[in-house]
């Protein structure tokens, strides 16, 4: 398929999602406010912590606001683009309705990943970015346009890593028939993405920096705004994204070969 065909299919799904969302405006407003409140709690926690300390692993309160804002931005984009699709995949495989995607006019993985969008996730993404910009101004930093472009590229790499790790673990449903614990586990693990890398020691550093690179996803973009581009860190993030995407695609297609459809 050509890129234009992928775009047309995605736009059709996006239109469907927007029409459906407007049919249930109350739910949309409620969940948008819930997510906004949750973001406020995360940011308020910074204020509480820094009432009792001046620095955490060399990070001051506004440095931490950049880090947390970056984490929230990646997470909001993940929620907007992929979250519902991936968790519906787990349910569809268990019930057999995954057959629907096998009959679609496009690659199965693309159709599974992009059928719906969640507008409430997108609605709060600009707020998360605004937190980052405000914190940068409070620190008196002046990132160049190139730094912001690099920051955006790193956010996309971080989004790719989150998507890939979720796809990898959700794809286990082809073998174990249930992925109920993945959602709660993801939120628990994502708490580590709001910590400075320097604060992690021992096993935690190995697991969340080198194994599941959740800390790298947020720390590298935040450090780019604070101190400028460090090429080896940028390459590390891009390499992690490529590696996890490769693993996730392999896991999905191996699982797909095991799927026997609802009629079997």
CB 71 within 8 A of CB 218: yes
Spatial CA neighbour of 85 closest among 10, 23, 177 = 10
pLDDT value, residue 1 = 61
Spatial CA neighbour of 228 closest among 157, 142, 153, 135 = 142
Helix (H, G, I), strand (E, B) or coil at 75: helix
Tell me: the pLDDT tens digits for 224-238?
998 888 888 889 899
Check whether 181 has a pLDDT greater than 80. no
Tell me: the pLDDT tens digits for 68-102?
999 989 988 998 899 888 888 878 887 777 888 88
Check whether 121 has a pLDDT greater than 60. yes
CB 163 within 8 A of CB 240: no
pLDDT value, residue 7 = 82
Share of the chain above pLDDT 90, in %: 21
- Phi first, then psi: give them for residue 168, nearest 5 degrees: -60, -50
Task: List, as one string, the DSSP characters of 19-36.
Answer: HHHHHTHHHHHHHHHHHH
pLDDT value, residue 51 = 81
Segment 21-37 shows an average pLDDT of 75
The larger pLDDT score, comparing residue 23 to residue 149, is at 149
The dihedral through the CA atoms of 104, 106, 109, 114 has a sign that is negative
Tell me: the pLDDT tens digits for 124-161?
888 889 999 999 999 898 888 999 999 999 999 999 99
pLDDT value, residue 3 = 74
- Phi first, then psi: give them for residue 3, nearest 5 degrees: -60, -40
Check whether 2 has a pLDDT greater than 90. no
pLDDT value, residue 37 = 78
Tell me: the pLDDT tens digits for 51-77?
877 787 778 889 999 999 999 899 889
Share of the chain above pLDDT 70, in %: 94
Mean pLDDT value across the chain: 83
pTM (two decimals): 0.86
**Site of tokens 């979250």:** 83
By the 10 Å C-beta count (0-12 exposed, 13-18 middle, 19+ buried), 146 is classed as: exposed
CB 155 within 8 A of CB 74: yes
């Amino acid at each position: 398929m050509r890129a234009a065909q992928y775009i047309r299919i995605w736009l059709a799904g996006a239109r469907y999602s927007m029409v459906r969302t407007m049919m249930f405006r109350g739910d949309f407003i409620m969940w948008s406010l819930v997510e906004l409140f949750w973001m406020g709690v995360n940011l308020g926690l910074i204020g509480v912590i820094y009432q009792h300390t001046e620095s955490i692993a060399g990070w001051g309160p506004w440095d931490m606001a950049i880090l947390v804002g970056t984490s929230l931005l990646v997470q909001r984009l993940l929620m907007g683009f992929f979250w519902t699709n991936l968790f519906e995949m787990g349910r569809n495989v268990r019930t057999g309705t995954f057959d629907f995607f096998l009959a679609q006019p496009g690659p199965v993985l693309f159709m599974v990943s992009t059928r719906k969008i969640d507008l409430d996730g997108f609605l709060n993404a600009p707020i998360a970015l605004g937190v980052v910009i405000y914190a940068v101004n409070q620190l008196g930093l002046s990132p160049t346009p190139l730094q912001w472009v690099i920051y955006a590229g790193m956010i996309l790499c971080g989004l790719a890593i989150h998507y890939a790790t979720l796809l990898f673990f959700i794809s286990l449903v082809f073998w174990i028939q249930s992925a109920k614990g993945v959602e709660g586990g993801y939120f628990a693990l994502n708490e580590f993405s709001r910590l400075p890398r320097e604060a992690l020691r021992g096993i935690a550093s190995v697991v969340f920096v080198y194994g599941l690179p959740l800390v790298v996803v947020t720390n590298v973009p935040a450090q780019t705004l604070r101190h400028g581009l460090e090429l080896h860190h940028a390459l590390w993030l891009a390499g992690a994204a490529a590696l996890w995407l490769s693993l996730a695609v392999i896991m999905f297609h191996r699982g797909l070969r095991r799927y026997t459809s609802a009629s079997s």
